[in-house]
């Protein structure tokens, strides 16, 4: 990546190629893409551009694949910079996790490999980041995504930015408090007044991407074909199984049990330090 000339935009020949694969997208039940941030882009506007345009192209394909709903898009990513053991900065957590959620992603899966458990010192450093900055930010975003889906989409869709270049994010207000519940998972507490203001801001900045079987501005209308049992998500003719390497830590229990149509972020399970 040349940071001096990098724009983040998807090359026109790649867009053309994706358009020619319309037949494939129409047979898909979900789309999967990857998003690994190079350290050379650390905490820069170019990092945001990298994620923004990559996710936008995935969402463009997801929207054109079906006429009745937007395919869910899943992202494989890392909580560290590419080929590095340095954790993402707070700014780049927003650039990756925050930007993806705001653009309407269904799920982000964070994973790592053996190199992060080469030594106890490295392993504990990774654990500290996952249970610290990543924990707090993930709780904030997933809580906001759940609130937006409930308030705008009646739990029948995901929220996505109204405008492609919008600066709106699915964030709970800074005044929200955080506390550990009995199960030792982090929860966000918000006052009724702040909750109403947050919902108003969400209505100003986001629209709904309805799940399969639902449509309308707020995803309240049930598809008549689904009610008659005629319309079902397309079956994929191609199946792929992948074996990921053993990972570092058990999944941190900071995620709400969101429905499949809502934004979700998880850390794949693996070995402890």
CATH (domain of 127): 3.20.20.70
- CA-based nearest residue to 141, from 149, 131, 151: 149
Helices (H), 118-191: 120-129, 135-153
Q: Mind listing the pLDDT tens digit for each residue in 63-100? A: 999 888 889 999 888 889 988 889 999 999 999 999 99
Q: Is 5 contained in some domain?
A: no
Q: Mind listing the pLDDT tens digit for each residue in 138-197? A: 888 988 999 999 999 999 999 999 987 888 999 988 776 655 444 455 677 788 888 999
Q: What's the number of CA atoms in the CB half-sphere (13 Å) around residue 156?
A: 16
Q: Is 93 contained in some domain?
A: yes
Q: For residue 136, what are its two tokens?
A: 């707090």
Of 17-21, 188-192, 223-227, 253-257, where does mean pLDDT reach its minimum?
253-257
Overall number of domains in the chain: 1
Q: Mind listing the pLDDT tens digit for each residue in 14-70? A: 999 999 999 999 999 899 999 999 999 999 999 999 999 999 999 999 999 988 888
Q: For residue 223, what are its two tokens?
A: 């598809």
Q: Is 78 contained in some domain?
A: yes
Q: Is 272 contained in some domain?
A: no
The answer for 154, left when phi > 0, alpha when psi is -120 to 50, beta otherwise, is: left
Of 63-67, 111-115, 118-122, 184-188, where does mean pLDDT reach its minimum?
184-188
Whether residue 89 contacts residue 79, with contact meaning beta carbons closer than 8 Å, is answered with no
Burial class (CB in 10 A: 0-12, 13-18, 19+), 231: middle
Residues 7-13 have a mean pLDDT of 89
CA pair distance 182, 221, nearest whole angstrom: 38
Q: Burial code of 108-124, b = ≥16 C-beta within 10 A, e = fewer?
A: bbbbbeeebbeeeeebe
Residue 256 scores a pLDDT above 50: no
DSSP state of 163: S
- 65 to 12, 21, 53, 220, 222: CA distances (angstroms): 19, 10, 18, 22, 20
Q: Is 231 contained in some domain?
A: no
Q: Quote the pLDDT of residue 90.
A: 94
According to DSSP, the residues that pair with 87 across neighbouring strands are 80
Q: Is 246 contained in some domain?
A: no
Q: Quote the pLDDT of residue 197.
A: 93
The answer for 174, left when phi > 0, alpha when psi is -120 to 50, beta otherwise, is: alpha
According to DSSP, the residues that pair with 73 across neighbouring strands are 31
Q: Is 33 contained in some domain?
A: yes
**Who's near 81: CB < 8 A, 6+ residues apart?**
37, 38, 39, 42, 88
The answer for 67, left when phi > 0, alpha when psi is -120 to 50, beta otherwise, is: alpha
Structural domain span for residue 99: 12-226+262-267
Q: Is 20 contained in some domain?
A: yes
Q: Quote the pLDDT of residue 249.
A: 33
CA pair distance 132, 126, nearest whole angstrom: 10
């Amino acid at each position: 990546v040349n940071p001096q000339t990098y724009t983040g935009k998807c090359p026109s020949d790649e867009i053309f190629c994706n358009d020619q694969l319309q037949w494939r997208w129409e047979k898909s039940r979900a789309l999967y893409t990857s998003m690994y941030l190079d350290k050379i882009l650390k905490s820069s506007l170019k990092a945001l551009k990298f994620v923004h345009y990559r996710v936008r192209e995935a969402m463009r394909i997801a929207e054109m694949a079906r006429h009745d709903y937007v395919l869910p898009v899943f992202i494989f990513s890392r909580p560290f910079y590419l080929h590095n053991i340095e954790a993402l900065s707070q700014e780049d957590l927003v650039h990756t996790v925050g930007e993806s959620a705001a653009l309407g992603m269904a799920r982000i899966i964070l994973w790592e490999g053996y190199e992060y458990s080469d030594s106890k010192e490295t392993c504990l450093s990774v654990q500290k980041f996952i249970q610290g900055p990543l924990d707090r930010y993930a709780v904030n975003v997933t809580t906001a995504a759940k609130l937006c889906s409930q308030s705008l989409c009646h739990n029948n869709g995901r929220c996505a930015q109204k405008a492609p270049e919008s600066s709106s994010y699915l964030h709970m207000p800074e005044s929200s408090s955080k506390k550990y519940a009995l199960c030792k998972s982090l929860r966000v507490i918000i006052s009724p007044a702040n909750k109403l203001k947050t919902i108003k801001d969400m209505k100003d900045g986001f629209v709904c991407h309805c799940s399969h079987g639902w449509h309308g501005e707020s995803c309240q209308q049930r598809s008549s074909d689904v009610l008659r049992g005629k319309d079902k998500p397309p079956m994929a003719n191609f199946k792929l199984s992948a074996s990921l390497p053993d990972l570092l830590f058990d999944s941190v229990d900071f995620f709400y049990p969101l429905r499949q149509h809502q934004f979700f972020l998880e850390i794949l399970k693996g070995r402890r330090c």
